[in-house]
Chain A
Amino acid sequence: MINATLKELSAALAAKSVSSAELAGQFLDRIAALNPTLNAFITVDPEKTLAEAAAADAARAAGQAGLLTGVPLAIKDIFCQQGWKTSCGSKMLDNFIAPYDAHVIERVRAAGLVTIGRTNMDEFAMGSANENSYYGPVKNPWDLAAIPGGSSGGSAAAVAARLAPAALGTDTGGSIRQPASHCGITGIKPTYGVVSRYGMVAFASSLDQGGPMAQTAEDCALLLNTIAGFDGRDSTSLERPTEDYTRELGNSLSGLKVGLPREYFAAGLSADVARVIDEAVAQLKKLGAEVVEVSLPNTELSIPAYYVIAPAEASSNLSRYDGVRYGHRAAEYKDLVDMYEKSRAEGFGAEVKRRILVGTYVLSHGYYDAYYLKAQKIRRLIADDFKKAFEQCDVILGPVAPTAAFNIGEKSNDPVEMYLSDIYTLSVNLAGLPGMSVPAGFAANGRPIGLQIIGNYFGEAKMLNVAHQFQQATDWHRKAPAL
C-alpha cells in the first residue's frame, strides 16, 4: 500500500483490509531500507510508532475512528512533539526532547494519525537545498545527485520516495512549495494565521506557516482540515469559522480566471520550467479556465526585503538559545558571556550564523529605519501588487523555482546565488497569501517540476479545487521515482 493516497488508506483502514499496525510496519520497513540512502528522517522510533498505531487500531475497534485515524504521517523536525527529539536540524537542539506538543501535533494526535518519524530539514528552516542540516543533506529520490529542496526537504523526499504517505512541513519563504516542486509532490502553505505557530520552532514569526505535503491536493485538503484552526496561544492565529477545505474540490473550472504575472516569465526562468508551466496552463484552459495577464512589478524586491525581515526576526527569535534552559551548552567557559558565545558558536551552523549576523546588524542602533522599516514598507508594496492582481483573477499561476532541482553542492558556497533561487516564492510569504505547488512535469534531465498556485487570502479551497481538477486530468502526481 506504499503508493496509496491518504484517501485510499483511509478507505482501506475503514474496510479493515489493513490495520494501522500493518501499515506502520510497511512504511517502517521501507524507511529502514531506503533512509540510509536518502537521509530523509532524523529520528525513527519504531516502538513509539507501533504504539501509536496500536492505539489507533484500538480506537477503531472501539468505534472511535475518524477519517484519518491510523494513517501514517511524517513530521518535520520543527514541530515540538512530546517525548520525541525535536532538533530543528541543529546541533543546538540535538539533545532536546520536547516537553510538550505543538498545536498542530495536538491536532494530528487527536485525529489519530500515526507518527512515522521526524524528517530532516535545513537547520532552523534556513535553506533552499536541505544542505544546511546538522544531520547531513537529504538526497532527492528522483536523482540522488540532486537536492530535494528546502527547508522541508526531508518531508518532501519522504513522501516522494513513499516512505510516508504524507508529511507536515513549514514555509517561511517557500520551504513547503519549493521542495514539493523539486520532489514531485503536492504541498500547500496556508494563509498566514490559519495554522497555529504554537510549538513550531520559530524562525521568522511574521512569515512562518505550517502546512501539509502529500501526493494529491485532495490529501492536502484532508490534512489541512485536521491542522487548521484558531489557537489562543499563537498571538497571530486568526479567529475564523471552521472551513471544510474539500468543499470545492469537485467544482468545474469553467470560467475560472487565472492570472499569469508577466514578471514570473521573464529573464531567469529556465526553458524546462517555462515549458512545463505553459503546458499546465494549456491543460487548465482545456478545463475551462480563462487566462489573463497580470503584473507584480515589485517581485524582484521580495528578495532584499525578505533577506532583511527574515534574518532580523530570526536573530531575535534565536536569541533564546543561550545554553541556559535547554539546548547545547559548551563544555568549557570562563564566565556567562563566554558560555553564551561558545555555546552559540558550537551549536549553530554556518548559514544560521550568517543570518543571525545579518539580522543583528539590521536591527542594531541607527540602522532600523534603513533596513527593517524600509523592508516592511516594501512588503506593503508587494502585498498591494497582489491586491491589484486579484482584482483581475481568481488564482495566480507561475513557476515555484527558476529551475528543476540543482545538484547537491552546486550553490552551497554562494549564499546570494542560493537566495536568488527563491524569487517566485518569497513574495507570497511577505504578503501572507496562501501558495501551493502541484506536480506538473519533468525537466529534460528527469527531475520533477511543480506549478505554483497562489490564492487570495483564505483562498485555499479554491486553490485546492484548481489543483484537484488539474490532477483529475493529469497523472504527474501519481508518478513515483524508481528506488
Chain B
Amino acid sequence: MSLTHQDVARIARLARIAVTDEEIAATGAQLNNIFGLIEKMQAVNTDGIEPMAHPQDVSLRLRDDVVTETNHRDAFQAVAPQVAAGLFLVPKVIE
C-alpha cells in the first residue's frame, strides 16, 4: 500500500487539519513508513478470533434516570474562545 498526495490531502480534509503542499509531501512519506509497519498485521491469520475492545469483559453500567449534574455553564464558558448570551459563537453557517 502506498498513499498518494491526493490520499493524504483527502485524509487531512476528513480530519479537519489544514495542510500545505510541502506538508503533504513530508507527511506522506512518513505515513507510508508507518503503514509499512502496520501492514505486518495482514500476514496473521485471525479467522474466528473475537475482536477485543476492552480487557475486562464487562457490560456498560446503567445509572438511575435522575439529574446528576448541576449547571456549570458560566465556568465552562469561561474557557471558550467566543461566547455571547450563554451561547458558543461560530462563523455563520446558514445563509
A interface list, Cβ under 8 A from B = 95-97, 99-100, 191-193, 206, 232, 235-236, 238-239, 300-301, 303-305, 307-308, 315, 319, 322-327, 329, 333-342, 344-345, 348, 353-354, 356-358, 360-362, 364, 370-371, 373-381, 383, 414-416, 419-420, 431-433, 457
Task: Tell whether B66 is near chain A: CB-to-CB under 8 Å.
Answer: no
Whether A364 pairs with B11 at a CB distance below 8 angstroms is yes
Cα distance, A424 to B61, chains bound together (Å): 33
**Residue pair A419, B56 in contact (C-beta under 8 Å):** no
How many angstroms from the CA of A383 to the CA of B42 in the assembled complex? 19
Tell me if A344 and B18 are in contact (CB < 8 A): yes
| CB-defined contacts of A360 to chain B, threshold 8 Å | 11, 14-15
CB neighbours of B82 from chain A (8 A): 329
CA distance A420 to B63 in the complex (A): 42
Interface membership of chain B positions 1-22, coded 1 if the CB is closer than 8 angstroms to chain A and 0 otherwise:
0010001100111111111000
The A-B contact count (CB < 8 A) is 171
Q: Given A324-B90, A326-B80, A354-B34 in contact, is the A308-B55 Cβ separation under 8 Å?
A: no
Given contacts A307-B37, A325-B76, A336-B93, whether A315 and B42 have CB atoms under 8 Å apart is: no
Which of A308, A338, A357, A432 has the most chain B CB within a 10 Å cutoff?
A: A357
**Residue B67 lies at the interface, judged by CB distance under 8 Å to chain A:** no
Contact A432 B55 (CB under 8 A): yes
Interface of A is mostly: helix
Q: Of A236, A345, A357, which contacts B18 at CB under 8 A?
A: A345
B84 interface residue per 8 A CB criterion: no
| B38: contacting residue among A99, A371, A414, CB under 8 A | A371
9 A-B pairs with C-beta separation under 8 A: A235-B60, A236-B56, A319-B16, A326-B79, A326-B81, A329-B81, A344-B16, A360-B14, A420-B37
- Whether A356 and B15, one on each chain, are in contact in the complex, defined by CB atoms closer than 8 angstroms, is yes
| A304-B37 in contact (CB<8A) | yes
Q: Are B72 and A357 within 8 A (Cβ)?
A: no
Which chain A positions have C-beta within 8 A of B19? 345
Chain A residues with Cβ under 8 A from B15's Cβ? 315, 344, 356-357, 360
B44 within 8 Å of A (CB atoms): yes
Residues in A whose Cβ lies below 8 Å from that of B54: 192, 206, 236, 432
| A97 and B79 contact, Cβ closer than 8 Å, known pairs A356-B15, A364-B11 | yes
**CB-defined contacts of B7 to chain A, threshold 8 Å:** 361
Q: Is the CB of B75 within 8 A of A99?
A: yes
Pick from B31, B39, B44: contact of A358, CB under 8 Å: B31
Interface flag for B91 (CB, 8 Å) = yes
The closest CB in chain B to the CB of A360 belongs to B15
When C-beta atoms are compared, the residue in chain A nearest to B38 turns out to be: A304
Known: A337-B16, A342-B18. A380 touches B63 (CB 8 A): no
Taking A100-B75, A335-B92, A380-B51 as known contacts, 8 extra A-B pairs with beta carbons closer than 8 A to each other, sorted by chain A number, are A232-B61, A326-B79, A357-B12, A357-B15, A357-B27, A380-B49, A380-B50, A432-B55
* 4 nearest CB pairs, A to B: A432-B55, A376-B51, A377-B46, A329-B81
| Bound Cα distance from A337 to B37, whole angstroms | 32
Q: Are A383 and B58 in contact (CB under 8 A)?
A: no
Question: CB-nearest residue of chain B relative to A370?
Answer: B42
List chain B residues, Cβ under 8 A from A381: 44, 46, 49
B39 to chain A, nearest CB (A): 7
B91 surroundings in chain A (CB, below 8 A):
333-336, 338-339
Q: Is there an interface contact between A376 and B52, defined as CB atoms closer than 8 Å?
A: yes
A362 to B88, CA, bound (A): 32
Q: Known interface pairs A238-B58, A336-B93. Does A416 touch B41 (Cβ–Cβ under 8 Å)?
A: no
Using Cβ atoms and an 8 Å threshold, which residues of chain B touch A303?
37, 40
B64 to chain A, nearest CB (A): 11
CA distance A414 to B54 in the complex (A): 31
A381 to B46, CA, bound (A): 9
In the complex, chain B residues whose CB is within 8 Å of the CB of A334: 91
Closest chain B CB from A197 CB (angstroms): 13
Chain A residues near B80: list those with CB within 8 A.
Answer: 324-326
Which listed residue (B3, B56, B61, B90) contacts A192, Cβ 8 A? Answer: B56
Are A100 and B72 interface neighbours, CB within 8 A? yes
- B34 / chain A contacts, CB cutoff of 8 Å: 307, 354, 358, 415-416, 419
Q: A307-B38, A333-B91, A364-B14 are in contact. Are A301 and B72 (CB under 8 A)?
A: no
A192 to B52, CA, bound (A): 14
Of the candidates B27, B36, B55, which one forms a contact with A354 in the assembled complex, judged by CB atoms under 8 Å apart? B27
Interchain nearest-CB distance for B55 vs A (Å): 2
**Residues from chain A with Cβ under 8 Å of B85 in the complex:** none
B-chain residues with CB within 8 Å of residue A376 when the two chains form the complex = 51-53
Bound state CA distance, A348 and B19, in angstroms?
12
For the complex, what is the distance from the CA of A340 to the CA of B17, rounded to whole Å? Answer: 7
Please judge, given known A-B contacts A96-B79, A99-B72, A335-B91, whether A348 and B52 are in contact too, CB under 8 Å. no
Does the CB pair A324–B88 fall under 8 Å? yes
Docked complex Cα distance between A98 and B76 (Å): 9
Partner of A304, one of B14, B30, B40, B92: B40
